[in-house]
């Protein structure tokens, strides 16, 4: 080896070692940063399959199911894995209960993305799933879901429904994946977090073609789904069914509350719908049908409607006036078919005159409460009517009017209580007690939800306080429900002032007055009718509780365009009270009468006719 | 199988076995057996009922290892002079096979470079490598051969270019480039720097011209060469003035004439070159000539290579573009590399364990048992495994070079260096491509990638080297092992 050769040899040896060093350096760079590559490798080779949990069920206050979950299955097709030699499509169609056209449509769709799982049908029953499994067609798989089932078929707009999350929802709610179910409206929405349960995940090793090779990590990394929590509702489902039955054909609302707890026993918004309509393959069509119904069956009037309370509001006026010292129960005011003020008359019906507070309540005298309200807001101690109305406002708010009560349902309405600022706006700052007077008898700008009215009944039953009305009394695995439902809310009126009002309500039912139909032997029912004027026939309303001492139920019935309060609202409320208190109905003829009563809904029919005409045009 | 060979050769020719370079032999055996392990991992099918069925790639490879060990034994038993004698016929047959493949062969992956016999496919280029190495050794060891003589240079050049051009015609450019490894050998044999430097310079310009804009390249070259001249001749201010004037003129031209920056720079530089050439010939400062010539060469080469690049096949263009980082598309053309980087990177320090590599096992890495076998090493055995494998190769290559130096006759030395050079290029390009250092070329990892032709060819290449070296030791024991 000459010297020159030696030099070349050494240079080349350096080159060779250099190549090794460069390769190892790059390898080090890759493999010492292995976390990012490991992550990539994981997402590369592991497919996670979401397992949906069973949605929580809902029981009524007596332990009867209101909402059940039943197993059902989505059927999916992976086109590429379908048997090459074909399969028995006729049998498949009969199991899946779909037409040939539908099946072929889905197959065409599946062929476009041959490796993806394409949903063919949902809501396959357990039995049919087993039959499908027997066919053992590769490429056809099922996915466990739960569908809702309603043993009593009541409470459509109260319970809400379950649907697949929309694309927008998935964007907003990172917890949800496409295809997952979410509660909409009613209890399903209000208690979504409790009902939904926890999704599980199964991990599979897949190859580059995304074909599943086997369970990843022998299934040890899988997460089991956790079923949703069971809820116990405050609703008495038997009573709910009875109330819905009575409200059949009527538009309006029934809300009954247990005064001692604020638990809602009945919440009917009529028209309602059979909740089963929004489950299963016909869901979409049924939904559209409900959507186009101008009587708006999906609208929960109980918490969202804004009705004038009518004469039931006189109770509040009397209470406020007594608290403010402008009224004592023994004061008598005359009534000559109405109350005259500023050249106008607030009409009244024929009754004895003059009346004291108790009888004014029982007879629902307009003139009496106009006088009381005028005395209240024009009290010189406030300095002005405006200030008087402001004081009055605060009282009314304390009864839960003009604001959301804070029940557990979403979308609760606040109703409306007119304020001085409101009148300033409307009357350009120039108004007096006469402008406000219609409020005295619950007309004019006053607006309440049926829930607020039922709550008023509960307040009077409790002589001055209420618990926020709510629909769920127990959540599985939790000691208590939300703290706000245990808090006692007092009105600004002292308990003592409720005595004459309750007395008046008792007289109206038991002695002589507008509420005689509500009489229930031995139950000391108290009640106050209301007849709210509006653009159509009067709304009929009745507010009641029973028994007078230790009340067990407070109820508000509101029937749109039902005529006089005594006509429809009173018998409905009375029958519900009878059912709840005694467990039976002794007055079948009254039930028949209520069921036969069909208020005139020309206004709605007209609206529907116009709407349909417009739709058909499009 | 290999141990069988050891025992049998010991029995038949105890003295020969004593002279065989056992380090090289052990390295060879280690690499082959590790390769079988990796292929097993890459093609193991847990659902297969019969692990030992010959339908599995690892079993086929085992058969090839068996065949190789027989052939290798025969080679070791041959007289060393036979290799010298066979060089020319082997070369003729090798080139003939290449032509036959080009004419009658079977096309695989776009390259018409295969023969098919029944279920076996053979790639004649693998044997052409042996033939070329032998022929090179034969030509360069000729008594009258002098690499500094042009005619001799042309002779060896032709020996390489003949198979190279056929391989390129087969559309198997990757394999052809392996023959470029012979520059390594030329360097050892004292090739003039005036030959290899331009080659390196050309390759450098080619890569740079793909990545950078020409105006950037020429500005950089201008600064570089001016710096070189300053270091050689001093006179800092003069060089600085020269540089500044050219750049200023170029900028003025670019601003005040419709010329683009590139053209302006070319005009300014060309003028400067003319002035410089006059200066060079007047003052006889010939040392300035070299930078000028290299710059002029670049001025011709860069536009030409840009043009030639567009003449390449689209897939070749893309491979090169991805390699130099001009395209970033993990799913398409760069998919292989991306996946193989994930596989190797995810192996971490110690790997995921034998048969535990998800990336390679589930087909994310394509060609995992052939060209991308190194992914299995990286994923399942981690950096530790990679270190062992790279070290084994580097050790074997260094050993081959050392054997070459040890052999007194140029024939053995040139041959050993040829084998070392081809191994080095294979290892660099193959492993390099799996970790994103090299463009993707269909070049197997020697002795490890699945494939009979490649295994047999590299076994022969290495064993011939060992045989030639063993002869040397026979002649001169003082060299020792």
Is residue B203 in some structural domain? no
**B279 lies in the same domain as B151:** no
Q: What is the pLDDT of residue A110?
A: 82
Is residue B317 in some structural domain? no
Instruction: Name which of B383, B401, B417 is nearest A27 (Cβ-Cβ).
Output: B383
Give the length of chain B: 481
Chain A residue numbers with beta carbons less than 8 Å from the beta carbon of B362 are 45, 205-208, 213
Domain end position, chosen among B312, B343, B362: B312
Question: Is the per-residue pLDDT at A238 higher than 70?
Answer: yes
What is Dmax (Cα atoms) for chain A? 141
Residues of chain B with pLDDT under 70: 1-17, 46-49, 109-110, 118-120, 315-316, 318-337, 361-364, 366, 471-481
**B419 lies in the same domain as B337:** yes
Is residue B62 in some structural domain? yes
Q: What is the pLDDT of residue B10?
A: 41
Integer Cα distance of A114 and B178 in angstroms: 42
Is residue B207 in some structural domain? no
In this prediction, residue A320 has a pLDDT band, given cuts at 50, 70 and 90, of very high
| Cβ atoms B372, B436 nearer than 8 A | no
| Listed ranges A341-345, A395-399, B169-173, B308-312; the one with the highest mean pLDDT | A395-399
| Cβ atoms A451, A263 nearer than 8 A | no
Q: What is the pLDDT of residue A301?
A: 93
**B333 lies in the same domain as B473:** yes
Q: What is the pLDDT of residue B179?
A: 85
SS3 A355: strand
Helix pair B57-77, B2-12: axis angle to 10 deg: 20
Q: Other CB atoms closer than 10 Å to residue B436's CB: what's the count?
A: 21
**B76 lies in the same domain as B128:** yes
**Enclosing domain of residue B239:** 212-312
**B230 lies in the same domain as B191:** no
Question: Is the per-residue pLDDT at A116 higher than 90?
Answer: no
Share of chain A above pLDDT 90, in %: 40
**B129 lies in the same domain as B159:** yes
Q: What is the pLDDT of residue B420?
A: 95
Question: Is the per-residue pLDDT at A95 higher than 70?
Answer: yes
In this prediction, residue A192 has a pLDDT band, given cuts at 50, 70 and 90, of very high
Integer Cα distance of B372 and B359 in angstroms: 12
Q: What is the pLDDT of residue B364?
A: 67
Indicate the range of A136-140, A217-221, A591-595 predicted with least confidence: A217-221
Is residue B318 in some structural domain? no
Q: Which two tokens stand for residue B43?
A: 């093609």
State the best of A23, A26, A211 to mutate against chain B, taking most chain B CBs within 10 Å.
A23
**B184 lies in the same domain as B218:** no
Q: What is the pLDDT of residue A550?
A: 93
Q: Residue A74 belongs to what H/E stretch? A: strand A65-78
**B304 lies in the same domain as B426:** no
Q: Where are the beta strands (DSSP E) in A313-392?
A: 338-341, 344-347
Residues of B engaging A, defined by a Cβ cutoff of 8 Å: 184, 187-188, 190, 339, 341-349, 358-359, 362-364, 378, 382-383, 386-387, 390-391, 393-394, 397-398, 401, 405, 417, 420, 424, 427-428, 431-432, 435-437
Question: Is the per-residue pLDDT at A436 higher than 60?
Answer: yes
CB contact under 8 Å between A41 and B382, yes or no, is no
Q: What is the pLDDT of residue A24?
A: 92
When divided into structural domains, chain B yields a total of 2
Chain A residue numbers with beta carbons less than 8 Å from the beta carbon of B378 are 27, 30-31
**B471 lies in the same domain as B350:** yes
**B231 lies in the same domain as B372:** no
The angle at the Cα of A26, spanning A24 to A31, to the nearest 5 degrees, equals: 90
CB contact under 8 Å between A207 and B363, yes or no, is yes
Which residues 6+ apart lie within 8 Å of B446 measured at CB?
B31, B393, B423, B426, B427, B454, B458
Mean pLDDT score of chain A:
88
Is residue B189 in some structural domain? yes
Q: What is the pLDDT of residue B334?
A: 53
CB contact under 8 Å between B343 and A41, yes or no, is yes
CB contact under 8 Å between B363 and A209, yes or no, is yes
Indicate the range of A362-376, A448-462, B163-177, B374-388 predicted with least confidence: B163-177
Shortest CA distance from B361: residue in chain A:
A207
Question: Is the per-residue pLDDT at A526 higher than 60?
Answer: yes
Share of chain A above pLDDT 70, in %: 98
* ipTM for the complex shown: 0.81
Is residue B321 in some structural domain? no
C-alpha distances in angstroms, A277 versus A149, A150, A154, A428?
10, 10, 11, 50
Is residue B320 in some structural domain? no
Decide which of A303 and B289 is more confident. A303
Q: What is the pLDDT of residue A246?
A: 93
**B299 lies in the same domain as B393:** no
Chain B residue numbers with beta carbons less than 8 Å from the beta carbon of A24 are 386-387, 390
Is residue A435 packed enough to be buried (19+ CB in 10 Å), middle (13-18) or exposed (0-12)?
middle
**B93 lies in the same domain as B12:** yes
Give A511's DSSP letter.
T
SS3 A259: coil
Shortest CA distance from A13: residue in chain B:
B398
State the best of B187, B189, B337, B348 to mutate against chain A, taking most chain A CBs within 10 Å.
B348
Q: Which two tokens stand for residue A325?
A: 């010292």
Integer Cα distance of A568 and B317 in angstroms: 87
In this prediction, residue A23 has a pLDDT band, given cuts at 50, 70 and 90, of very high
Q: What is the pLDDT of residue B162?
A: 92
Domain end position, chosen among B281, B312, B343: B312
Phi, psi of A143 (to 5 degrees): -130, 130
């Amino acid at each position: 080896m000459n010297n020159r050769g030696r030099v070349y040899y050494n240079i080349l040896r350096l080159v060779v070692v250099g190549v090794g060093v460069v390769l190892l350096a790059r390898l080090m760079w890759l493999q010492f940063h292995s976390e990012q590559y490991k992550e990539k490798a994981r997402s590369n080779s592991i497919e996670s399959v979401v397992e949906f949990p069973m949605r929580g069920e809902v029981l009524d206050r007596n332990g009867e199911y209101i909402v059940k979950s039943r197993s059902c299955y989505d059927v999916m097709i992976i086109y590429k894995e379908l048997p090459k030699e074909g399969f028995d499509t006729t049998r498949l169609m009969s199991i899946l209960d779909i037409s040939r056209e539908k099946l072929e449509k889905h197959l065409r769709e599946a062929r476009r993305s041959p490796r993806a799982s394409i949903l063919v049908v949902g809501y396959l029953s357990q039995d049919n799933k087993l039959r499908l499994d027997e066919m053992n067609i590769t490429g056809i798989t099922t996915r466990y879901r739960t569908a809702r089932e309603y043993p009593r078929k009541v409470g459509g707009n109260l319970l809400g429904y379950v649907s697949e999350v929309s694309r927008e929802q998935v964007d907003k709610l990172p917890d949800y994946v496409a295809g997952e179910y979410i509660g909409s409206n009613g209890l399903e929405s209000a208690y979504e977090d409790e009902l939904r349960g926890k999704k599980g995940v199964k991990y599979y090793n897949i190859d580059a073609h995304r074909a599943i090779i086997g369970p990843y990590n022998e299934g040890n990394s899988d997460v089991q789904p956790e079923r949703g929590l069971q809820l116990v509702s405050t609703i008495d489902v038997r009573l709910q069914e009875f109330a819905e039955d009575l409200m059949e054909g009527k538009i309006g609302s029934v809300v009954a509350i247990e005064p001692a707890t604020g638990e809602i026993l009945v919440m009917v918004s009529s028209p309602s719908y059979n909740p089963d309509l929004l489950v299963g393959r016909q869901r979409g069509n049924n939904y559209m049908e409900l959507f186009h119904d101008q009587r708006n069956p999906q609208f929960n009037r109980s918490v969202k409607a804004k009705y004038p309370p009518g004469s039931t509001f006189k109770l509040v006026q009397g209470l406020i006036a007594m608290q403010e010292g402008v009224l004592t129960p023994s004061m008598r005011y005359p009534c000559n078919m109405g109350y005259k003020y500023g050249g106008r008359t607030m009409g009244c019906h024929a009754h004895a005159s003059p009346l004291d507070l108790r009888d004014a309540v029982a007879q629902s005298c307009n003139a009496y409460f106009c006088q009381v309200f005028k005395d209240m807001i024009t009290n010189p101690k406030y300095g002005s009517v405006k200030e008087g109305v402001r004081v009055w406002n605060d009282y009314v708010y304390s009864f839960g009017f003009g604001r959301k009560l804070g029940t557990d349902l979403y979308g609760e309405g606040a109703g409306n209580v007119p304020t001085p600022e409101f009148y300033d706006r409307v009357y350009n700052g120039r108004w007096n007690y006469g402008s406000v007077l219609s409020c005295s008898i619950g007309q004019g700008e006053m607006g309440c939800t049926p829930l607020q009215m039922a709550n008023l009944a509960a307040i009077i039953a409790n002589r001055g306080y209420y618990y926020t009305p709510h629909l769920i009394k127990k959540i599985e695995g939790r000691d208590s429900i939300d703290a706000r439902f245990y808090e006692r809310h007092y009105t600004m009126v002292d308990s003592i002032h409720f005595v004459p009002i309750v007395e008046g309500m008792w007289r109206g039912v038991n002695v002589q007055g507008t509420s005689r139909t509500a009489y229930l032997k031995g139950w000391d029912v108290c009640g106050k009718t209301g007849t709210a004027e509006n653009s159509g026939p009067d709304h009929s309303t009745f507010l009641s509780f029973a028994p007078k001492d230790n009340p067990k139920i407070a109820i508000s019935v509101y029937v749109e365009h039902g005529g006089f309060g005594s006509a429809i609202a009173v018998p409905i409320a009375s029958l519900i009270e009878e059912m709840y208190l005694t467990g039976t109905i002794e007055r079948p003829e009254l039930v028949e009468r209520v069921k036969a009563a069909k208020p005139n809904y020309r206004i709605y029919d007209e609206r529907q006719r116009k709407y349909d005409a417009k739709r058909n045009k499009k | 199988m290999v141990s069988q060979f050891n025992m049998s050769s010991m029995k038949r020719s105890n003295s020969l076995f004593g002279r065989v370079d056992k380090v090289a032999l052990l390295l060879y055996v280690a690499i082959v057996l590790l390769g079988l392990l990796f292929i097993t991992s890459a093609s193991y099918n847990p659902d297969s009922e019969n692990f030992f069925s010959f339908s599995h790639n690892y079993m086929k490879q085992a058969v090839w290892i068996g065949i190789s060990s027989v052939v290798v034994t025969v080679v070791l038993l041959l007289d060393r002079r036979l290799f010298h004698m066979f060089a020319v016929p082997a070369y003729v047959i090798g080139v003939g096979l290449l032509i036959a493949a080009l004419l009658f062969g079977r096309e695989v992956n776009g390259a018409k470079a295969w023969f098919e016999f029944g279920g076996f496919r053979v790639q004649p280029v693998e044997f052409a490598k042996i033939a070329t190495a032998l022929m090179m050794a034969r030509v360069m060891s000729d008594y009258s051969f002098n690499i500094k003589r042009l005619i001799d240079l042309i002779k060896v050049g032709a020996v390489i270019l003949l198979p190279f051009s056929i391989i390129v015609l087969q559309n198997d450019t990757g394999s052809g480039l392996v023959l470029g490894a012979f520059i390594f050998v030329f360097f050892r044999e004292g090739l003039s720097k005036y030959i290899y430097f331009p080659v390196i310079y050309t390759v450098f310009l080619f890569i740079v011209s793909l990545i950078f804009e020409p105006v950037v390249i020429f500005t950089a070259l201008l600064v570089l060469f001016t710096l070189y001249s300053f270091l050689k001749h001093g006179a800092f201010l003069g060089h600085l003035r020269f540089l500044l004037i050219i750049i200023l003129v170029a900028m003025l031209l670019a601003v005040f004439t419709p010329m683009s920056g590139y053209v302006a720079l070319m005009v300014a530089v060309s003028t400067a070159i003319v002035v410089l050439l006059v200066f060079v010939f007047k003052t006889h400062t010939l040392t300035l000539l070299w930078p000028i010539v290299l710059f002029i060469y670049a001025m011709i080469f860069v536009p030409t290579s840009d043009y030639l690049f567009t003449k390449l096949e689209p897939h070749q263009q893309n491979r090169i573009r991805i390699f130099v980082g001009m395209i970033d598309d993990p799913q398409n053309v760069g998919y292989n590399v991306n996946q193989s980087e994930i596989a190797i990177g995810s192996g971490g320090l110690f790997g995921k364990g034998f048969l535990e590599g998800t990336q390679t096992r589930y087909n994310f890495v394509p060609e995992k048992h052939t060209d991308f076998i190194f992914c299995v090493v990286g994923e399942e055995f981690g950096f530790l495994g990679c270190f062992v494998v790279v070290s084994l190769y580097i050790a074997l290559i260094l050993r081959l070079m050392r054997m070459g130096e040890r052999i007194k006759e140029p024939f053995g030395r040139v041959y050993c260096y040829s084998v070392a050079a081809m191994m080095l290029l294979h290892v660099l390009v193959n492993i390099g491509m799996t970790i994103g250092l090299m463009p993707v070329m269909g070049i197997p990892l020697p002795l490890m990638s699945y494939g009979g032709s490649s295994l047999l060819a590299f076994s022969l290449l290495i064993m011939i080297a060992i045989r030639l070296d063993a002869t040397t030791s026979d002649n001169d024991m003082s060299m020792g092992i």
